Structure 1
Amino acid sequence: MCLALTILVGASKSPLVAPYKDELFAYPSLLASAHQGAYLSVDYRAERDIRQRDAIPEKQVKPRYVDLYPRKYQRDLSLETEAGRLPHIAVGTRERARFIVVYVHGQGGNRTQGMNDHTFGGNFNRLKNLAARNDGLYLTVDFSNFEAAGVSQVKYLIHKFRELSPRAPVFVACGSMGGRICWALAQDKKLAPRLGGLILLGSHWDRSFLNSAAFRSRVPIYFGHGSADRVFPIETQEAFFRSIRSKDPAYPVRFVRFETGSHGTPIRMVDWRDTLNWMGSV
């Protein structure tokens, strides 16, 4: 028996982002729910969610999933830092934004991955629309590595845009190896309290998070993971999710398991609107 997903938004807070193509991008049927709804098992099927959704599987989504409205607000930019140029792409409101989303790519990616309107089932295009239509800002960035230099570059980007939108919560989404950046940001005593949430997509775990500034500030965490992920086994990530809840049963953490999904499935399937509204309500 499938379970219906209900978005829980605090009664005193209006949703951060308004509906946009929810009927196309909301999670398929739920197979199971646990931990008072913090753990969800989603019915993912490659035949439906890739081959019926894409005109060219994994390369070109069907037109109804895409709206190119955000392109008028999209700019390929560069910041000058002590370590050199920092190329990045921005979509939406660059000053006084209501919220900021930063996408950190994984191994082999670059700033254009998270701006591609047609791959990953059009899910990045939906995120661009959510930012552009709700006075938000969406950023992707090229960084040098997943070590200290890369962490410093992502921090610099966040710092510069927070100066222009000081009241905006910052949500950092990290795909695969990009999780190393997310976990490093969680340790920053100045930045962590200002984060609106960390979104780990097919990524890994970091036990040091349990002693981090972000954990102490109760920064919301979202894990999206495919049950057939061969890069980062889901069993270890689920165990890490349980360890967070064990240390703080009321901690704002959510785990979405995509049944039969592979390493890249969470990027295709994460419900951006649901996730941002949940994080914005806690």
Structure 2
Amino acid sequence: MSTVRLPRRMLIATFSTILMLTSAAAGELASFKDKLFAYPGILEQADDGAFLKVDYDKMRDIHKRDEILERRVKGDYVSLGVRWRQDFETVEHQGRSVDVFHIGKLRSARFAVIFVHGRGGDRKLGANDFTFGGNFNRLKNLVDENSGVYFAPSAKDFQDQGAADVSALIDYVHASAPQAKIVLTCASMGTSICWKITDDATASGQLSGMMIFGGPANPAFPRSAAYAAKLPMFFSHGSDDNVYRWQDQYALYKSLIGKHYPTRFVLFNTGSHGTPIRMTDWRVTLNWILK
């Protein structure tokens, strides 16, 4: 499909209007600090809006947003009352012990988000209110205010053991709240776990969507159980990522969109490896997956 380029102000206004109308019609996740976390500008869109190139500026989106660069966001971006309803615990299921961060009432949850960190991280990364521009704090509040549940497990590795733990966690959520739509999200090297889950017909069959942040592509995905089930796939990447090439992930996305597969791709122009976690709009993306 052709790429459309419009004046920047017109793109921002048009895109914002579409998002508001779509969210209102879907009646899904209520707003939470939308103006602060909305994409700062759309430079380009294609594939009927499935592909977006987002304006990213390090001086604006890190230096002006953070009180301590990349360690503590300014107070306007966080709401800390949610901390009273969170916990660190160990989930025992299917003979496995999985250390997790957890917020939300599981048994009554209408949706669930599971976040898998990358190399060097653990469950604390997905619980941190102040890093990554406060984006995890926003996710926690979106979950808390919309009858959801959020788990961030510590991955023992990014191979079979880590995938088995995440698979057990997915089943635990599904068994405890069979009505909940489950979204699995993975960042960086943690994406290897997401790709392993796509080959697991049982685990992927319990999911309603998957989000990939700045990770490696998987050319074998079209042969997976998740692909056969048309599991919605969302990708976000920084164009200046020096760990994993965005072009590889984009090639996978294009192969999917060309077959009318449910998928979205957000490219942050000049963004680095950590930019997708900082800048991805959780509410917009979850509303697309959950609708």
8 Å contact from structure 2 (residues 170, 206) kept in 1: no
Of 106, 125, 128, which aligns to 1:116? Answer: 128
- State the identity as a percent: 42
Matched, 1:156 2:168: yes
Of 88, 92, 111, which aligns to 1:99? Answer: 111
User: Which residue in 1 is equivalent to 2:79?
Assistant: 67
More helix by share: 2
Point out where structure 1 has 5 or more consecutive residues left out of the alignment: none
After TM superposition, the structure 1 = structure 2 runs for residues 121-200 of structure 1, keeping only pairs within 5 Å, are: 121-200=133-212
Cα deviations across residues 116-153 of structure 1 (Å, max 9, x unaligned)? 00000000000000000011001001121111111000
Single out whichever of 207-216 and 104-113 deviates more from structure 2: 207-216
Q: What is the root-mean-square deviation in Å for CA atoms of aligned residues? A: 1.6
Matched, 1:277 2:277: no
SS in 2 for 1:182: helix
Output the CA distance in 1 between the equivalents of 2:100 and 2:88. Answer: 6
One-letter code of the match for 2:280? V
Matched, 1:257 2:264: no
Cα deviations across residues 49-84 of structure 1 (Å, max 9, x unaligned)? 000000011000000100012112101111235766
Cα deviations across residues 11-35 of structure 1 (Å, max 9, x unaligned)? 9x73321111000001111000011
After TM superposition, the structure 1 = structure 2 runs for residues 169-248 of structure 1, keeping only pairs within 5 Å, are: 169-246=181-258, 248=259
Aligned length: 278
Of 77, 81, 88, which aligns to 1:76? Answer: 88
One-letter code of the match for 2:282? W
Normalised by the length of structure 2, the TM-score is 0.92
8 Å contact from structure 1 (residues 89, 139) kept in 2: yes
Output the CA distance in 2 between the equivalents of 1:95 and 1:53. Answer: 36
Go from structure 1 to structure 2 and tell me whether the alpha carbon gap of 1:82 and 1:163 turns closer, same or farther (over 3 Å shift). closer
8 Å contact from structure 1 (residues 186, 213) kept in 2: yes
User: Which residue in 2 is equivalent to 1:268?
Assistant: 278
Go from structure 1 to structure 2 and tell me whether the alpha carbon gap of 1:77 and 1:42 turns closer, same or farther (over 3 Å shift). same
Output the CA distance in 1 between the equivalents of 2:170 and 2:93. Answer: 13
Output the CA distance in 1 between the equivalents of 2:23 and 2:32. Answer: 20
After TM superposition, the structure 1 = structure 2 runs for residues 20-31 of structure 1, keeping only pairs within 5 Å, are: 20-31=32-43
One-letter code of the match for 1:271? D
Deviation of 1:245 (Å): 2.0
One-letter code of the match for 1:254? R
Single out whichever of 80-89 and 230-239 deviates more from structure 2: 80-89
Of 10, 26, 29, which aligns to 1:17? Answer: 29
Cα deviations across residues 156-177 of structure 1 (Å, max 9, x unaligned)? 1111122111011110110001
